[in-house]
Amino acid sequence: MLLRFVILLAVNLCCAATQAAERLFDFSALPEGKPPAGFVSVLTGSGSLGDWKVVLADAPTAFQPLTGNVPRGGKSGVLAQLSTDVTDERFPALIFDEEVFGDFTFTTKFKCVDGRTEQMAGVAFRYRDAKNYYVIRASGLGNNLRFYKFVNGDRSAPIGPEVPIARGVWHELTVECKGNQIRCLLNGKEAIPTLTDNSFAFGKLGFWTKSDSVSHFADAKVVYTPRETLAKVLVRELFEKKTSISEVVIYIAMGTGQDLRVVASRNEKLLGTPGGELEKHVIAKDVMYTGTDKPRDLLVVTLPMHDRNGEVVAAVRVEMKPFLGQTEQNAMLRAMPIIKRMEQRFKEAKDLVE
């Protein structure tokens, strides 16, 4: 995925046959007074949305800016939730909107800064929407750590110990998910016995607070097993069979801004790159185009892909080697069965990327 702020991505941590990836979120590299790009502010319950911004503050003592920026005046950029709306059942969160995680380990530093009715900071994970996700949070006023889940907007009974959470002090929270197993560590020590829950197998993740909690977050990192989305499966399966097709690229509008991005391709270097005007036009007008890529001696057909309701949800670029007597018409006839087979495998757009 492409982000508009600094995320360092490494896909070089290997364990047996499983390849792990790592994302580091460096808020110190961002301009002050603005929320980080690539995230979306959401709310569970009632009241106003959170006020999420990067602010200049005392960073964790062990925290070193990933970009090598020297902290100004001994301070560095951290993520802050600043709203003091005291609405009781109000749970603001800032969700990383450009990746879905299944198995992962997410670690962040947090600090409970202020709050008259609440002083909470936590992590929302396997987030599906504002009514369905897990959360683990620490309370500086209650001096406890709690796990619970929201299912269709209903909050489960909390699970977790009484533990001192000093206000104005940086702590470290780690959440680990493997299958239906959930582990939580506070300051490097297991804080809640391993939980087993089957409600959510995957989802997004982000930062979470309650009511008027003013909280800071920094030094966040997620190590995860990349999930193979259905879009990637469809492309992979196509090339596992004998085919005269050279390349298939699937473009879908991703994230809050609905930017058109490559979500599947034989060439993994294309993943996350933006679509062009032609792909946008294919989706907007439900039309197909043919053309040639002369430097590579390829015929190119770009077609719309529809969901079960007949709505266009993606553009698919099909590249193929021409043969003697090849015409645009029979190039389309070669490409269309590929799209039809793909359309039979999903109901709606999110099935392709989740």
Over residues 183-193, the pLDDT tens digits come to 999 999 999 99
Judged against a pLDDT cut of 50, whether residue 8 lies above it is answered with no
For 310-348, give one letter per residue: b (16+ CB within 10 A) or e: eebbbbbbbbbeeeeeeeeeebbebbeebbeebbeebee
How many Cβ atoms are within 10 Å of 195's Cβ, its own excluded? 17
Give the sign of the dihedral formed by CA 27, CA 28, CA 34, CA 37.
negative
Q: Is 337 left (phi over 0), alpha (psi -120 to 50) or beta?
A: alpha
CB 203 within 8 A of CB 133: yes
pLDDT band at 72 (very low <50, low <70, confident <90, very high): very low
Judged against a pLDDT cut of 70, whether residue 257 lies above it is answered with no
Nearest partner of 139 among 151, 156, 125, 122, judged by Cα: 122
pLDDT band at 59 (very low <50, low <70, confident <90, very high): confident
Judged against a pLDDT cut of 60, whether residue 16 lies above it is answered with no
Average of per-residue pLDDT across 268-281 = 90
- Give the residues across from 22 on adjacent strands: 10, 223
Judged against a pLDDT cut of 50, whether residue 100 lies above it is answered with yes
The pLDDT score that the predictor gives to residue 306 is: 96
CB 247 within 8 A of CB 265: yes
Over residues 83-94, the pLDDT tens digits come to 999 999 999 999
Average of per-residue pLDDT across 315-324 = 89
Over residues 165-215, the pLDDT tens digits come to 999 999 999 999 999 999 999 999 999 999 999 999 999 999 999 999 999
Average of per-residue pLDDT across 47-59 = 95
The pLDDT score that the predictor gives to residue 258 is: 65
Domains of the chain are: 7-224 (2.60.120.560), 230-353 (3.30.450.40)
